[in-house]
């Protein structure tokens, strides 16, 4: 019999986002079953969404989970507006766009969500966040391949300010930039941080990482964690260990 989580564990679990990076709904469902009783966010990215479609989001909502739909929209404003309207109608609690798409595109994302709610007032307004620089992007890649000069932190903060001015709720950024974003945009501006790696675990394809405790101390609101939990021999215990580290931080 699984032990009931404490109120503090449940509170902190809501700041943990499990990355369901699976090729189909069946494999994702097996992982969700292993995490039963932990009221975390579920993050659905491109691989799973493209395979399982909108019905998966509806199923996760029926099971009581908050859902972050991580599709990183980046297109002309009208197309992004339509995508945002559809995701809001699905019941997504959070979705994202690329800040590099510009102010008009980010404003269109918010307009799409508002349009969906105007049609169906029973819907809740999702958190809309902007991707700054991917956590796999190093200083060298940003400068020499993407073609953006300067330091990664400066670019991330500039994108964060742009997102705030466009009316978005926050950004996706590495935990290494969390403190600078908070200083620039205020403590209420939401920071979602991938690239979280518990001490001693593999960095995989991430470049700018921190441990869960360090990320919380730096001001991250939500931590996105995939392989350190989903590839673990005991995913549930790994998730609980991370939640405990977040609490201690």
**For the segment 152-190, what is each residue's pLDDT rounded down to a tens digit?**
999 999 999 999 999 999 999 988 899 999 999 999 999
Q: Are 239 and 42 in contact (CB under 8 A)?
A: no
Q: What percent of the chain has pLDDT over 90?
A: 88
The pLDDT value recorded for residue 136 is 84
Choice among 75-89, 152-166, 209-223 with the minimum mean pLDDT: 209-223
In the structure encoding, which two tokens stand for residue 139, read together?
């200083």
**CA-CA-CA-CA torsion sign (183, 155, 113, 191):** negative
Across 133-137, 199-203, 226-230, least confident range: 199-203
CA gap 115, 81 in Å, rounded = 9
CA pair distance 4, 239, nearest whole angstrom: 14
Task: Please tell me the least confidently modeled range out of 54-63, 121-130, 148-157, 202-211.
Answer: 202-211
Q: What percent of the chain has pLDDT over 70?
A: 95
Q: Which residue has the tokens 């920071």?
A: 191
Q: Does pLDDT of 65 surpass 80? A: yes
pLDDT given for residue 205 in this prediction = 47
Q: Known catalytic residue: 58?
A: no
CB 24 within 8 A of CB 52: yes
What kind and span of H or E run contains 191?
Answer: strand 190-193
The active-site residue, picked from 72, 81, 151, 161, is: 72
Q: Give 13-39 as a 3 state SS string.
A: HCCEEEECCCCCHHHHHHHHHHCCCCC
Distance, in Å, from the CA atom of 44 to the CA atom of 41, rounded to the nearest integer, reads: 10
């Amino acid at each position: 019999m699984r032990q009931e989580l404490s109120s503090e564990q449940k509170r902190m679990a809501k700041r943990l986002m499990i990355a369901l990076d699976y090729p189909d709904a069946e494999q994702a469902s097996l992982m969700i079953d292993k995490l039963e009783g932990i009221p975390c966010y579920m993050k659905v990215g491109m691989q799973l969404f493209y395979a399982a479609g909108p019905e998966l989001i509806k199923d996760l909502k029926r099971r009581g989970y908050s859902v972050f739909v991580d599709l990183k929209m980046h297109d002309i404003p009208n197309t992004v507006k339509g995508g945002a309207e559809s995701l809001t109608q699905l019941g997504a609690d959070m979705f994202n766009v690329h800040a590099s798409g510009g102010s008009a595109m980010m404003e269109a994302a918010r307009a799409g969500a508002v349009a969906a709610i105007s049609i169906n007032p029973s819907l809740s307004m999702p958190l809309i966040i902007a991707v700054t620089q991917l956590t796999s992007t190093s200083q060298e890649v940003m400068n020499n391949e993407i073609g953006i000069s300067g330091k990664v932190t400066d670019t991330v903060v500039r994108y964060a300010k742009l997102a705030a001015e466009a009316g978005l709720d926050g950004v996706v950024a590495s935990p290494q930039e969390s403190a600078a974003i908070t200083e620039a945009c205020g403590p209420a501006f939401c920071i979602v941080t991938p690239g979280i790696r518990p001490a001693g675990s593999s960095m995989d394809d991430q470049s700018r990482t921190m441990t869960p405790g360090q990320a919380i101390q730096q001001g991250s609101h939500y931590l996105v964690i995939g392989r350190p939990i989903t590839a673990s021999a005991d995913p549930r215990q790994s998730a609980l260990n991370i939640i405990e580290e977040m609490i201690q931080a």
